[in-house]
Amino acid sequence: MLFNSLPFIFLFLPIVLTTFLTLGRRGSTTWGLLVWLTAASLFFYGWWNIPYVLLLAGGVLFNFIIGHLLSSSRGRDRPVGARKAILALGITLDLLVLGYFKYANFFIENLNFLFGIHAGSLGILLPLGISFHTFQQIAYLVDAYREGTEPYPLLRYATFVCFFPQLIAGPIAYHKEVIPQFSKQEFRLPDPKNIAIGLTLFAIGLFKKVILADGVASYASPIFQAAADGSPLAMIQSWGGALGYTLQLYFDFSGYSDMAIGLARLFNVKLPLNFNSPYKATNIIEFWRRWHMTLSRFLRDYLYISLGGNRKGPWRRYLNLMITMLLGGLWHGAGWNFVIWGGLHGLYLTVNHAWRRLRKQIPGLGEKPSRAGRIVAWSLTFVSVVVGWVFFRAETLPAALTLIKGMMGFNGLGLPAGWIQTWLYDLGGLRHFLNALGLSSASYIPLPGLRATAWIAVLLFIALFSPNSQQILGAFEPALNLESRKSLSKMEQWIQWRPNIGWAFLIGTVSVLIVVNLANVSEFLYWQF
């Protein structure tokens, strides 16, 4: 069941929320509320595929037992070797299950390629959200081992893992962030403030997904399809497709995260922040502190640091970064394009860290960059990210390279056919000269027309210059880990959300606009994970 679907918005959510609030108002215990939430979450998951509910439940039970073995008082008294073995068992089995469902066919394809065998692919249906809840549970097991957290009751643990707002596509919340919230009195009592914030954030997220992301998707997909077909793409076409996808992915995923955070807030639960205007970053290190923040911190806390982090010298640091990002890329999907994307970002991070180190060592370079310097830094960062997304999205490596070549101008500039014919015919003999410069009329692949270009420009403006949804609601702490700021800029103050009639009408109107557009079929791009 997608968040942006009529059954979810008009059936599932009202029923689950109304029941939850009624139970709370009537003085239900935490236990009752958690039972209801868990049951609803399993129903939500089972709407897509009932047998996989058993897989999810099995995974929850297994990790709960492992976690209990590590975190109970008896578990804490076990010898280190035994605790390590239990942890290794838990993580290994979690990764084996993930590996089977997500990577088995990828593994078979590569074996076929390398050894010339013809093993058939397995008909495996990827369980929704398996990458997310596997990582959540691995984090719990490692914390149980490292910190000896208090063992949780099964129901609280199950609710944490299965909690439907974040079950399918994150944010990847840590157990220590969420489970303690279930014990608070605020969790049990209906709170108009949480409902107001939750509904508003949900509507904003839906708007980003249904109107912004889906609106630009139709411009990007044909370009990538053309690249996959091997058609040579002109520069404007290529950049249009790449930028279109860059914006589509951001608004799609950040919109989803907003919805997840908003939905959780309706149930008096705060989830961690996941996006913080990543395309405003002026370097790749900053980008990864703003993009899919919960994945970044998971990779940092449970992979990068475990590999040694930056504690073993710069070269080992760079190696750890590469390994982390390569695996991070692979986590996104079973395909070499994802690994290449991860490797690219590993390279970017390595270069960034090395550059920072160099700047500290060379006099004069360590000063705060000028405005022009920041613009250059931003441009370089943004272009690097866009290039990375081309590999992320392209169906094959040759398709990605076709698009990159187009972006670099190897196939000419290209102009919309309607423009060029008038131009060239009017200019008469200059036609050949302009053609030689690459100003030729487009191939049959549609160029981004005026409307598409304007739409991409609008979205770019929003992504780069407007406050994000968390900043709009910043004063009301919509999410965990929102960075504290001493003061808001004038623009941010002006655009701050308030629970007043004006905002209610605006959000209500936006919501109706969303419902009207809801019939558009769309899949969350991170659905495949």
For the annotated catalytic residues, the residue numbers are 332
Q: Applying CB under 8 A, which part among 74-82, 323-331, 378-386, 507-515 lies near another protein?
A: 507-515
C-alpha span between 343 and 372 (Å, rounded): 29
Give CA separation, 106 vs 100, 333, 355, 424, 463, in Å: 10, 10, 36, 49, 35
Q: Applying CB under 8 A, which part among 129-137, 286-294, 452-460, 501-509 lies near another protein?
A: 501-509
Q: Which is nearer to another protein, 308 or 508 (CB)?
A: 508
Q: Pattern of binders to another protein over 509-528, x per CB under 8 A?
A: x-xx--xx-xxxx-------
Q: Which of 389, 399, 246, 273 is closest to 329 using CA atoms?
A: 389
49 is a site residue for another protein (CB under 8 A): no
Q: Pattern of binders to another protein over 198-237, x per CB under 8 A?
A: -xx------------------------x---x--------
Q: Which is nearer to another protein, 112 or 225 (CB)?
A: 225
Q: Which is nearer to another protein, 25 or 485 (CB)?
A: 485
475 is a site residue for another protein (CB under 8 A): yes
Q: Applying CB under 8 A, which part among 88-96, 115-123, 205-213, 508-516 lies near another protein?
A: 508-516
Region of 498 please: left (phi>0), alpha (psi -120 to 50) or beta.
Answer: beta
List the Cα angle 200/202/203 in 5-degree steps: 65
Q: Which is nearer to another protein, 289 or 356 (CB)?
A: 289
Q: How many CA atoms lie within 13 A of 154 on its CB side?
A: 9
Which DSSP symbol is given to 127? Answer: P
56 is a site residue for another protein (CB under 8 A): no
Q: Pattern of binders to another protein over 164-193, x per CB under 8 A?
A: ----------------------------xx
Closest distance of CB 455 from another protein, Å: 16
Q: Which is nearer to another protein, 443 or 453 (CB)?
A: 443
Give the chain's length.
529
Closest distance of CB 517 from another protein, Å: 8
Is 326 within 8 Å of 343 (Cβ atoms)?
yes
The tokens of 177 are what?
């962030």
Is 473 within 8 Å of 258 (Cβ atoms)?
no
The amino acid sitting at 353 is: H
Q: Applying CB under 8 A, which part among 60-68, 95-103, 113-121, 481-489 lies near another protein?
A: 481-489
- How many residues bind another protein (CB under 8 A)? The answer is 39
Closest distance of CB 316 from another protein, Å: 38
Give CA separation, 307 vs 341, 479, 501, 502, in Å: 21, 30, 53, 52
Closest distance of CB 95 from another protein, Å: 36
Which of residues 240, 507, 524, 529 is near another protein by CB under 8 A?
507
Q: Applying CB under 8 A, which part among 45-53, 77-85, 356-364, 475-483 lies near another protein?
A: 475-483
C-alpha span between 41 and 264 (Å, rounded): 12
Q: Which is nearer to another protein, 1 or 386 (CB)?
A: 1
| Neighbouring C-beta atoms of residue 184, cutoff 10 Å | 12
CB-based contacts of 326, cutoff 8 Å, min separation 6: 339, 342, 343, 346
Q: Which is nearer to another protein, 113 or 444 (CB)?
A: 444
Residues 227-286 that bind another protein (CB under 8 A): 229
Closest distance of CB 63 from another protein, Å: 35
Closest distance of CB 265 from another protein, Å: 12
Q: What is the DSSP string of 290-356?
A: TSSHHHHHHHIIIIIHHHTTTTT-HHHHHHHHHHHHHHHHHHH-SSHHHHHHHHHHHHHHHHHHHHH
C-alpha span between 16 and 43 (Å, rounded): 11
Q: Which is nearer to another protein, 322 or 515 (CB)?
A: 515
Is 187 within 8 Å of 33 (Cβ atoms)?
yes
C-alpha span between 402 and 393 (Å, rounded): 13
Q: Pattern of binders to another protein over 412-451, x per CB under 8 A?
A: --------------------------------x-------
73 is a site residue for another protein (CB under 8 A): no
Closest distance of CB 510 from another protein, Å: 10
Q: Which of 151, 132, 175, 135 is closest to 271 using CA atoms?
A: 175
Closest distance of CB 192 from another protein, Å: 4
123 is a site residue for another protein (CB under 8 A): no
Which of residues 155, 195, 327, 434 is near another protein by CB under 8 A?
195
Which DSSP symbol is given to 277? Answer: -
Closest distance of CB 210 from another protein, Å: 11
Which of residues 307, 327, 434, 488 is near another protein by CB under 8 A?
488
Closest distance of CB 505 from another protein, Å: 6
Q: How many CA atoms lie within 13 A of 253 on its CB side?
A: 28
Helices 154-162 and 51-71 meet at what angle, rounded to 10? 130
Q: Which of 393, 42, 423 is closest to 220 using CA atoms?
A: 393
Contact positions vs another protein (CB under 8 A): 6-7, 10, 192-193, 195-196, 199-200, 225, 229, 444, 474-477, 482, 484-486, 488, 498-501, 503-505, 507-509, 511-512, 515-516, 518-521
